[in-house]
Amino acid sequence: MDLDLNPVLAPVRDLGEFIREQRLAAQISLRGLAVKAGVSNPYLSQVERGLRRPSAEILAQIARGLSISVETMLAKAGILEAAEAPEVVTAIHADPVLTERQKAVLVDIYAALRKEAEAGADAIAPRPPDTTAPAAELPSTSTPTGITPMPEGEHHAAH
């Protein structure tokens, strides 16, 4: 009975291939990335060839060594779910000319600008009154007893 391990091993090979592609795009040698990531040269080579599946911690170190987001690396490894990306982010990642570092910087800037714009929109947007509070807690618009309201524009003269 032959057991087909391809479905099990394919994700590990794909991850290794992704790491290798990112390393080559960043123009970093295998030895250079191993040093940056704090792993041995043979171990990193095995990861790239799909012979080893690194832990999330090692993947984070490799991502930092490649100057790509840890989230991207963990999503590629199937450890994190990939977040739903706006079309702008998808377009940035699809650009074949930019390096992974440049893509990461652009996505970070885009996210910061969106966050700033959303915060500004929240500050400008009028808030509807809170109608969930009991009537006794809502501010009263009536005049307190014993005080006669003064018509607008009139002033009491000091005598």
Tens-digit pLDDT profile for residues 30-40: 999 999 999 99
State the pLDDT confidence band at 65, using cuts at 50, 70 and 90.
very high
Which conformational region is residue 33 in: left (phi greater than 0), alpha (psi within -120 to 50 degrees), or beta?
alpha
φ/ψ of 9, rounded to 5, equals: -85, -25
Q: What length is written for the chain?
A: 159
Q: Distances from the Cα of 70 to the Cαs of 23, 44, 45, 55, 136, in angstroms?
A: 15, 17, 20, 12, 52
**Mean pLDDT, all residues of the chain:** 77
Global pTM exceeds 0.95: no
Torsion of CA 70, 72, 78, 79, to 10 degrees: 30
- Single-letter residue type at 87: E
Instruction: Over range 49-69, report the average pLDDT.
Output: 90
